């Protein structure tokens, strides 16, 4: 029986002002195949508007100008594949930055077989930590527990 390998996932807790009952976000670390294969649609589907605009310009302008100027098609294909590969490598970091910008807090990185297992493992580990239960920061400013342990004074 073949066992799936462990992958790394970052766990992000919702901002304090998020809708009640908002679930933690779990993002896989590493290369994103959907972002590589569907570069521009992936950026639009994930509401990364500025990145989608930059990708459209970076991919579209050289292709349009290169085609009109009669440039080497193989060179344009290599350029396009390089941009797609770069997008695949950076995609999850862009999602993490977007969550941080909206007030979400990264509370740890978990090794697990899939997203559900990572979230369960975070819940198990967070329940062992001293302090309030895992979840968004309460209105009194008490932080939710981090997997790094209690903050030192």
Asked, for residue 53, whether it belongs to a domain, the answer is yes
Q: Which of 27, 54, 29, 26 is nearest to 39 (CA)?
A: 54
Mean pLDDT, residues 47-51 taken together: 93
Residue 129: what are its φ and ψ, rounded to 5°?
-85, 145
* Full residue range of the structural domain in which residue 109 is found: 7-128
Residue 141 lies in a domain: no
Cα 122 from Cα 110, distance rounded (Å) = 7
Helix-strand-coil split of the chain, %, nearest 5: 50, 10, 40
Q: Residue 133 falls within a domain, yes or no?
A: no
Point out the least confidently predicted range of 8-12, 69-73, 79-83, 144-148.
144-148
Q: What is the DSSP letter of 29?
A: -
| Continuous segment of H or E residues that includes residue 87 | helix 73-101
Spatial CA neighbour of 117 closest among 53, 19, 49, 28? 28
140 lies in some domain: no
Tell me, yes or no, whether 124 lies in a domain. Answer: yes
Q: Say yes or no to pLDDT of 36 above 50.
A: yes
Alpha carbons within 13 angstroms on the beta-carbon side of residue 28 total 17
pTM above 0.75, yes or no: no
How many domains, in total, are found in the chain?
A: 1
């Amino acid at each position: 029986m073949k066992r799936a390998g462990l992958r790394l996932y970052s766990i992000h807790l919702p901002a304090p002002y998020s809708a009640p009952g908002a679930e933690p976000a779990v993002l896989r670390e590493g290369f994103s195949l959907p972002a590589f294969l569907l570069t521009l649609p992936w950026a639009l589907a994930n509401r990364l508007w500025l990145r989608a605009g930059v990708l459209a310009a970076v991919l579209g302008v050289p292709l349009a100008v290169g085609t009109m100027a009669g440039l080497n098609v193989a060179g344009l294909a290599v350029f396009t594949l390089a941009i797609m590969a770069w997008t695949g490598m950076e995609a999850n970091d862009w999602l993490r930055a977007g969550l941080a910008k909206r007030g979400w807090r990264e509370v740890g990185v978990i090794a697990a077989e899939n997203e559900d297992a990572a979230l369960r493992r975070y819940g198990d580990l967070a329940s062992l930590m001293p302090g309030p239960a895992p979840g968004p920061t309460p209105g009194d400013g008490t932080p939710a527990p981090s997997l790094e342990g209690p903050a030192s004074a």
